[in-house]
Amino acid sequence: MVFHIVGARPQFIKLAPVLKAFSSAGIASRVIHTGQHYDFTMNELLFKDLGLPYPDFHLGIGSGSHAIQTAGMLKGVEDVLINEKPELVIVYGDTNSTLAGALAASKLNIKLGHVEAGLRSFDKKMPEEVNRIIADRISDYHFCPTENAVKLLKNEGIKGIFTGDVMVDALNMFSGKLNEAVYEKPYILATVHRAENTDNPCRFKAIWQAMKKLAEGMQVIFPAHPRTKNIYGDLMNEPGRIAVIEPVGYTAMLSLTKNAHCILTDSGGLVKEAFVLKTPCVTVRSTTEWPETIDAGANMLVGADDDKIISAVEKMSSASFNPDAMPFGDGSAAKKIARYVKNELNL
């Protein structure tokens, strides 16, 4: 039996093709949902959109400081693993759910696999960077989305397995459901949710100011993460051409991405989806774990300076890049992971 531990939107997306591949390979799976994302639009809506079964275990942890949230998850996950005794635990990405799941499995001497292993932003101020480093250190199997991730792990004395990125698998699974633009073109699609931006009012307000200036030329569509909206709701109620909308389902978000003039984001997942869908992107962060998108000319890293953001959007709007040189694999990552697990553990 394999247990998959997830808790946040990007992990649900990664889980969908992996569960399908494991089922096809005859590998029994169960899912623990930590409850890290507990808002309906970030949780049940996405499960329905992805066709995922309801989790076998829902811990309902919710929000809190990193310590409180991770501690709650660690206890809840440990209780389940002690009772169920799986042969393998798989964690995804770099959230607190990843960290808690990895620690619980490791302490119980259960084999541990990390999907999206080997990513590095080299910025330990990011909680995600700390989570992914620890998960990689204690994992037994490291499923890497890029060759660069394999190289980075090798530099740390860890053997990575290049599978490609399961998010490409997910995009291919649901590409037939993409719709034409709901909003009149051209528009900019923007998302801001990372702590480095939302916990720093100066950074967020600089990004928002850039969005307001950009909205003078074309509409800006901003699906607001519940946490971001809770902090900056008053700012978002100001009049202007920024359309603040509720978070949307996976396929709707892909449709918005595909039809956008440009993407403005701090989301690593959206950066990759924009790349695959051939939409130029500007990243409002100081570092990135996806340098491949920058090397391909598909993405610019600008931080939280409003003038630089505006200049980058203008530049990227007319940029040309070659997404055919795909660094994220051929869309068979989940099958490769399932095949490896079946052979390695004789499941």
Q: pLDDT tens, 254-313?
A: 999 999 999 999 999 999 999 999 999 999 999 999 999 999 999 999 999 999 999 999
- The answer on pLDDT for 33 being more than 60 is yes
Per cent of the chain over pLDDT 90 is: 79
Closest to 334 (Cα-Cα) out of 168, 89, 119: 168
Q: Are residues 297 and 187 in the same domain?
A: yes
C-alpha 70: how far from its chain's center? 18
Q: Are residues 95 and 228 in the same domain?
A: no
Residue 170 lies in a domain: no
Q: Are residues 150 and 190 in the same domain?
A: no
Q: Are residues 151 and 196 in the same domain?
A: no
- Those residues with Cβ within 8 angstroms of residue 34's Cβ, 6 or more apart along the chain or in another chain: 5, 6, 7, 59, 61, 73, 76, 77, 96, 97, 100, 101
**Average pLDDT along the chain:** 93
Domain count, the chain: 2
Contact status, residue 145 vs residue 329, Cβ threshold 8 Å: yes
Strand partners of residue 283: 265, 301
Residue 117 lies in a domain: yes
Mean pLDDT of 111-121: 98
The pLDDT score that the predictor gives to residue 75 is 97
Mean pLDDT of 161-180: 92
Residue 274's domain comprises 181-317
- The answer on pLDDT for 324 being more than 70 is no
Q: Are residues 308 and 338 in the same domain?
A: no
Residue 99 lies in a domain: yes
Q: Are residues 148 and 186 in the same domain?
A: no
The pLDDT score that the predictor gives to residue 39 is 59
In the chain, count H helices and then E strands: 15, 13
The pLDDT score that the predictor gives to residue 311 is 97
Model confidence band, residue 332 (pLDDT cutoffs 50, 70, 90) = very high
Query: The whole model's pTM is what?
Result: 0.93
Closest to 116 (Cα-Cα) out of 100, 95, 85, 86: 95
Q: Are residues 128 and 16 in the same domain?
A: yes
Which positions are annotated as active-site residues? 193
Residue 175 lies in a domain: no
Distance CA 274, CA 206 (A): 23
Model confidence band, residue 323 (pLDDT cutoffs 50, 70, 90) = low
The pLDDT score that the predictor gives to residue 325 is 73
Tell me the CB-side half-sphere exposure of residue 40, using CA atoms within 13 A.
Answer: 1
Q: Are residues 266 and 197 in the same domain?
A: yes
Residue 297 lies in a domain: yes
Higher pLDDT, 28 or 39: 28
Cα separation values, 189 from 151, 300, 324, Å: 33, 15, 23
Q: Are residues 219 and 102 in the same domain?
A: no
Q: What is the pLDDT of residues 121-145, one digit of tens each?
A: 999 999 999 999 999 999 999 999 9
Three-class SS state of 49: helix
Write out the DSSP string of 92-157. Answer: ETTSHHHHHHHHHHHHTT-EEEEETTT---S-TTSHHHHHHHHHHHH-SEEEESSHHHHHHHHHTT
Higher pLDDT, 201 or 238: 201
Q: Are residues 13 and 160 in the same domain?
A: yes
Starting at the edge strand found earlier in the chain, the sheet holding 219-223 runs: 242-245, 219-223, 187-191, 262-265, 281-283, 299-301
Q: Are residues 49 and 196 in the same domain?
A: no
The pLDDT score that the predictor gives to residue 42 is 57
- The answer on pLDDT for 326 being more than 90 is no
Pairing of strands 111-115, 29-33: unpaired
Give the domain CATH number at 261.
3.40.50.2000
The pLDDT score that the predictor gives to residue 225 is 85
Q: Are residues 251 and 281 in the same domain?
A: yes
Residue 322 lies in a domain: no
In single-letter form, the type of residue at position 135 comes to A
